[in-house]
Every structure is written in C-alpha cells, then in structure tokens.
Structure 1
Amino acid sequence: MMTDMGPTGPGPLLLITASMGSGHTQVADELARRMSGRVRTRMVDLLEILPWHLGAALREGYGATLRRAPWLYEGVFRAFFAPRPHWQPDTSPLARLAARRLRRVVADCAPCAVVSTFHLAGQAVGMLRQQNRLRVPSVVVITEPAAHVLWNHPATDLLVCPYPWVAEDSRRATGKPSLAPGPVIGPQFRMDGPGYGAEVGAAGRQRLRLEPGEHAVLISGGAWGMGALTRAATQLSLVPSVRPVVLCGRNERLRRKLDGAQGCLALGWRDDLSVLFAGASVLVDNAGGTTCAEAFAAGLPVVGYDPLPGHGRAGVKALIRAGLVTDGHPSLSSAVAALCTPGPLRERQCRRAAEVFRADPAEVLAGWLTDQGVPLSPAAGG
C-alpha cells in the first residue's frame, strides 16, 4: 500500500504503518487526513515492502499464535518486547532488513519528515537516522497504552503518545521529547463533535435491535475477532436487560457461530462503530487499543476482560491502573451492571477518559515540525 494525499510542494510527509490488525493503519489514515491540508502525505505499509512475503508471514503468524498458542505469544512478548534489566534479546536483524527496504522508499520520495505508527517501522527509521541515511525528523506515534521497548528507539526525534504515562516511559527510555496530546481517533467518535446528538443514539439502538429498556453491551475482539468473546457473551446473556453484541471483526466463522445464540447479536466488520457506540451502554474490550480510545471519545464506559496476551494484557492493565477502564475480574457481570446506568462510577470513569484528549495530535505534530524548520502550509480545515 502506497498512497498520496494533499497539495504538491516540498517532499511529502511519509507515514509508515503496518496492516497488523487495523489499529496502526487507522491511526496513520487519520493523521494523513488531518495533515493533508498542510503538506502532501505518502503512506507505506511496511509489511507490504518486506521481501520474501515476510510481511504476510509475520501477520499470519501473529494471528495464528494468538488463536492457537496464546501462551507462546506471551513468552515471545516477555522475551523480546518487555524491558529486561540485564540482557535484551536482539531484534535488529528484522529491523535492519526493514531499514534497507525503507531506504529505497526514502530515496524515491525525499520526505520532509517520517512518521511511524508501528514499532518495527520506528526501529527501522531510527536505524536510518543513526546511519545518517535519513536527514529529516523521525516521529513515532505510539498506538498502545503500554509502550514496549520496540517503540522506543534512541534516534527518534519525537514520540507522540496517547497517554501521559506512556510519554513519561518513552522519555525516560530515549531521552527524547515525548508528548501526550491524546489518542488519534476519527472525529465521528467525539461526543462533543458535530452530528453526535440524540438522533445518532436512536439510530444506534435501532441498528443494535434493542427493545425499550434494553442495554447493549458491545464485546470487542478487534479486527480479527480474537479472545474469550464467547465466554463474555455467555456471561452477559444472564444479566437482566443486557443484550450482548459481539464485534467479530473479520472473523466470519465466529459471527456465524454466535449470532442468535442465547440472545446474542454478532456483527462482522463495521464502518459505523461511532453510531453503534452512541446506542450502546458499555464496551467490553480485551486489548486497550484504538477501539478502546474511540469509546473514550464517545463517552462509552469500558470494561477490560480477559485481555489478549502480551501487549493486550499490558495495555488493559495500564488503563485499569489509570482509572480509565473497569476491571472485569472477578465478575464481568457485576462490572457491566454497575456501568450500564448513570451513576457516580460511570460518570467518574467517563470524565477521566474524556480528559485524555488534551489536544489535537495532528496540531501538535504540525507545530513541532514547523519548529524544526519543516515547511508546512496553514491547515485547510476539516
């Protein structure tokens, strides 16, 4: 994937992402949209430019491991991604391979700056900076609530983080500027944005097929529909007035299995999540990533339940510690019931979640690039 947006002029802003799930590409797409009025943008999927079909193998291997041997991915995460006090296993061979491929992209488009929304991309671009093969700023936009070591490369010039504690950890790890304007999410999720009124909530309830007095609890498994979604739906089907709605992503097999079972509504990939959020009462999440941040913006309280291994578990735990997510253990049913209706717990959690959106990340990025001498135009709006 290589796409260009925006006006002509100096070299483009190069956005490097990875189609590993959908969160990294969603963030890159939204940044490209917001920056397109200021500078031409080019987007590259790192997995597509790796040789020997290695990108597809990484994506498929990651998915297969999570589905069939989650304990193995947890071990890999602890060995290679989690910080270790004495010896850190080396991931540089893969990053060097990615850096060699990115050298060609950089030479081809001569970017004014490079923004990475995937950790391996940040490592590869950092190597190019260290080798003096990239002489423009390297920015890493972290998409997770717990930044593992591969997000933090010492040659990165700026880290844009979703939450303050992520910025503190990255600043400590790299010694470089680390800012926390808030997560990068689409404007349609902002409950204070245009068009997010009572009629959207009514449309959401209609699409969720709710009866009067019934609460929809969305259960998210990400783009791949992974995790203990069936177990969560089974538990919530026993809660009075609750309608479990499983977001199966692109897992069509799971959707067919769950739809209609024990009163459960199972949905495939959706482009109208903001409308569904407006009609729902709670989100149950197992990763703490982009879907979770979108719920924060929409004023939808979140319960963390049986998180995915590795970065999923680390992220959900970080959000629980920050008071942005309610822990679904030991009782998912009790946690959901406590948040379904208005009350101090729901109000406190939603207020804290709304406070993480401190500034527009694109505005922060544009301001920093301008300070570094990168030629940008005034925003065209939108």
Structure 2
Amino acid sequence: MRKKRVLLLSEGFGSGHTQAAHALAAGMRQLSPDIQTRVMELGNFLNPVLGPLIISAYRKTVSSQPKMVGLMYRSNYKKSLNRFAQLALHRVFYTHTSQVIAQLKPDLVICTHPVPNAVVSRLKRLGLHIKLCTLITDYDAHGSWVNQEVNKFLVSSALVKDKLINHGVPESRIDVTGIPVHPHFWKAHDKAEVRQHFGLKSLPTVLIMGGGWGLMYEDSLLEYMTKWREHIQFIFCVGNNDKVKEKMLSNSNFQHENIRILGFTKEVSKLMDVADVLVTKPGGMTCTEGMSKGIPMLFYEPIPGQEEENCEYFIRNGFGEMLEKTETVDKWMAAIQQIDESSRYRQTLLDKRNEQYNPTTCPKAVLQLLQ
C-alpha cells in the first residue's frame, strides 16, 4: 500500500515559516511513521539565484526600516493578493510548481507562507486537483493568507479563527490547532544533563533569542542585563548572524564566564528547559515554543505588524510582558533568583498552557485530513 505523502511549502521571509513546516512534518512522522513528508522553500528551490536576493533585501528592510514593513502590512491588511500579483509570482518564481507537484505526487499540500499559498491556489483555479491546507504561523490573520481554493485553514487561536471569518472564510474550513512545535518540545529534558552538555552552571538563567536572523545587538536593554552577570547566567542565541556574534564577543560587557554567546542551534528546546525566563522578539514560532515549555517571556522590539499582534496575544494571555524599561529588567532579574517564587510562576504557566495548547493537536488534524 502506497504511503501518504505531504508536501509542505514555505518561504524564507524570516525563519518561523519554514521552522513551522519542519515542526509539523516531524510531528506527523512522530505520530504516524508511515507518512512521507517533504519541506521546500519554493522560491529558493525554483529560483536559487533570485530567491536569496529577494530574501536578503527583505531582511535589510526589516532591520533598517521596520516602520515601513508595518505600514505595508497594515495598508493591505484586509486584502488577498490580487490576481495580477498572483500571476506575476507564478511567472517569475513558480512556473515549474505544477511540475514539482506532479513529480512528487503529494496527497496533501500544506503552505506555511502566503506566497506559495497564493501560487498553489492559482494552480487549483487553473485545473490542478490537489487538497490544499494553509497553516497560519502567527497570532493574526492578514488578508494575504486568504484564498477560496484553500480546503482547510489551521490557525493558532480562536481569535485568528474569528479574523478569518471576518475575511469571508467559512467557519467549516477553519480548525483551531495551535502552531506546531517540533517533538523535541513535547517533553521536558533533564536539567542536569542539559547543563553538563552545554557546560552551564546551576544558576538562575536567562535565554535571549534574536530570531533566526539574530536581530538583537542594537537593543541597549539586552546589554544592560549583563550588569547582573555575577549572579545570573545568560545565554545569547544570535542565530545565523555572525556579525552580531563577533560584535558581542569583542564587547567587554559580554566577556564573562556566566555569559554564553551561541550561533545557530537545533537544541533550543533543551536551553528553554534550563532557562528561568526567555527574552525574545515575538515571532509566532518562538513564542509558541516558549509557551509549550511554560517559560515566562519578555518581548523586545516587535516588528510592526504580525509581531505586534503576537506580542499582544501572549501578554493578554499572561505568558509575558514587554521589555521597555530598565525597571522591568531589574524586576525579573531579582525574581528569578527567588527559587520558590520562580518555580511557582512557571508551574502556573504550565497549567495555563495545558488549558490552551496541546502540541500534538496540529499534526493530528493533518493526519485526519489524510484519512
């Protein structure tokens, strides 16, 4: 009997979209080993020269002109990609998309970014017969996600479901599943083993995530934290941003035995288990990973648009707060040194997580679609 095949399509505009695709694929295989999955960043695969250039330009815009990114997000908030935009995307990037689908013969296509979602939707209008599922990877629902050819939307929360309904999506096509996290996040790791693995001390620990692009160095509050380095351990994850890593390593404020600066790592789930607080940009994926671990979060410099919406969602639901003042840093650095208080607060967040989120719900929903 032929194994079921799932093709997951993403794009590299930020790391969260592709990360969610890999997490969902791994979750499905964990629950049903007979499932075959393939994750592709379609633009890079079909146009390996132009694709990375566009991603690089977007990255520079995000870091240098975030307000412009927010303005573009808000100005088109209620609009799907228009027919001209879909046609242009189809011709420039994805003229071979139908050939890829024909070659791989998936039983289901899942899109974790609006661009491949729009392209496959257009192919369906042109006669492609395929079941299409859209996984929205933030706690907001921009109009660019919406296409009538999508058979099922998987969303992070009831709030996003309501927003899709307001965009005209029938309620029957929407499932609230939460954003999937990799099975590594489904269980707790032994703290002593993790500390030994990374050479960490048994100290109150702060984990600072800069996102996949490592956009963190210019935030003065992150440097201010280091004044607590004699009593608190800091782990800075700068992603693939080697320039940021070099700058931090050459800064005397970060040169201390209780400060670790890491590049890209696939072991974030372990680091979250030994951390007492997570400092992060509010990307949908990282926030969901933090929630899955029941770790309190401090959010800094959200990019206008979906990151602001993510931030608002998690603050409103009691999983964290904004990091805007030195007083906030001092409050949390003092709190995590009170072991009993820190443990009680984390247990409260774990209870809250259990009420709102189950990491297996999303992969189970996709497996149900395949039956």
Shorter-normalised TM-score: what interval?
0.7 to 0.9
Deviation per residue, 1:150-192 (Å, 9 max, x gap): 12222211011122322332243222521122221112223xx
**3-state SS of paired residue (1:21):** coil
Query: Bigger relative contact order, structure 1 or 2, given CA contacts below 8 A and separation 6+?
Result: 2
Correspondence for 1:9: 2
Deviation at 1:84, TM superposition (A): 6.6
Deviation at 1:234, TM superposition (A): 1.6
Correspondence for 2:151: 157
Deviation at 1:201, TM superposition (A): 1.2
- 1:201 pairs, out of 188, 191, 195, with 191
Correspondence for 2:54: 58
Correspondence for 1:362: 363
Q: Does 1:189 align with 2:189?
A: no
Q: Please, what TM-score do these two structures have when normalized by structure 2?
A: 0.83
Deviation at 1:299, TM superposition (A): 2.3
- 1:253 pairs, out of 243, 246, 253, with 243
Correspondence for 2:135: 141
Contact kept? 1:164, 1:180, Cα under 8 Å:
yes
C-alpha distance 71-106 of structure 1, shift in aligned 2 (>3 A): same
CA distance in 2, matches of 1:306, 1:332: 14
CA distance in 2, matches of 1:125, 1:295: 32
Deviation at 1:243, TM superposition (A): 3.1
Q: Does 1:234 align with 2:191?
A: no
Opposite residue 362 of structure 1, the aligned amino acid is P
Deviation per residue, 1:132-165 (Å, 9 max, x gap): x222211011111222221222221101112232
**3-state SS of paired residue (1:237):** helix
CA distance in 1, matches of 2:135, 2:108: 13
Q: Does 1:25 align with 2:18?
A: yes
CA distance in 2, matches of 1:88, 1:206: 53
Correspondence for 1:280: 275
**3-state SS of paired residue (1:293):** helix
The unaligned stretches of length 5 or more in structure 2 are none
The total of aligned residue pairs comes to 353
C-alpha distance 99-175 of structure 1, shift in aligned 2 (>3 A): farther
Contact kept? 1:282, 1:339, Cα under 8 Å:
no
C-alpha distance 15-337 of structure 1, shift in aligned 2 (>3 A): same
Correspondence for 2:324: 329
Opposite residue 357 of structure 1, the aligned amino acid is Y
Contact kept? 2:240, 2:263, Cα under 8 Å:
yes
C-alpha distance 278-231 of structure 1, shift in aligned 2 (>3 A): same
Higher helix share: 2
Opposite residue 16 of structure 2, the aligned amino acid is G
Higher alpha-carbon deviation: 98-107 or 54-63: 98-107
Contact kept? 1:11, 1:110, Cα under 8 Å:
no
Q: Show the 5 A alignment for 1:110-149.
A: 110-131=105-126, 133-149=127-143
CA distance in 2, matches of 1:255, 1:116: 32
The unaligned stretches of length 5 or more in structure 1 are 1-7, 371-382
Correspondence for 1:353: 353
CA distance in 1, matches of 2:328, 2:141: 27
Deviation at 1:207, TM superposition (A): 5.6
C-alpha distance 151-99 of structure 1, shift in aligned 2 (>3 A): same
Identity of aligned residues (%): 22
**3-state SS of paired residue (1:314):** helix
Opposite residue 285 of structure 1, the aligned amino acid is T
Higher alpha-carbon deviation: 217-226 or 333-342: 333-342
C-alpha distance 306-43 of structure 1, shift in aligned 2 (>3 A): closer
Contact kept? 1:23, 1:289, Cα under 8 Å:
yes
Aligned CA RMSD, in angstroms, stands at 3.0
Correspondence for 1:3: none
Q: Please, what TM-score do these two structures have when normalized by structure 1?
A: 0.81
C-alpha distance 90-323 of structure 1, shift in aligned 2 (>3 A): farther
Q: Does 1:220 align with 2:209?
A: yes
C-alpha distance 164-78 of structure 1, shift in aligned 2 (>3 A): same
Contact kept? 2:16, 2:283, Cα under 8 Å:
no
CA distance in 2, matches of 1:179, 1:283: 29
Contact kept? 1:161, 1:180, Cα under 8 Å:
yes
Higher alpha-carbon deviation: 176-185 or 32-41: 32-41
Deviation at 1:256, TM superposition (A): 2.0
Deviation at 1:281, TM superposition (A): 0.8
CA distance in 1, matches of 2:34, 2:179: 20
Contact kept? 1:145, 1:319, Cα under 8 Å:
no
Contact kept? 1:99, 1:125, Cα under 8 Å:
no
Opposite residue 53 of structure 2, the aligned amino acid is A
CA distance in 2, matches of 1:319, 1:89: 35
CA distance in 2, matches of 1:188, 1:42: 19
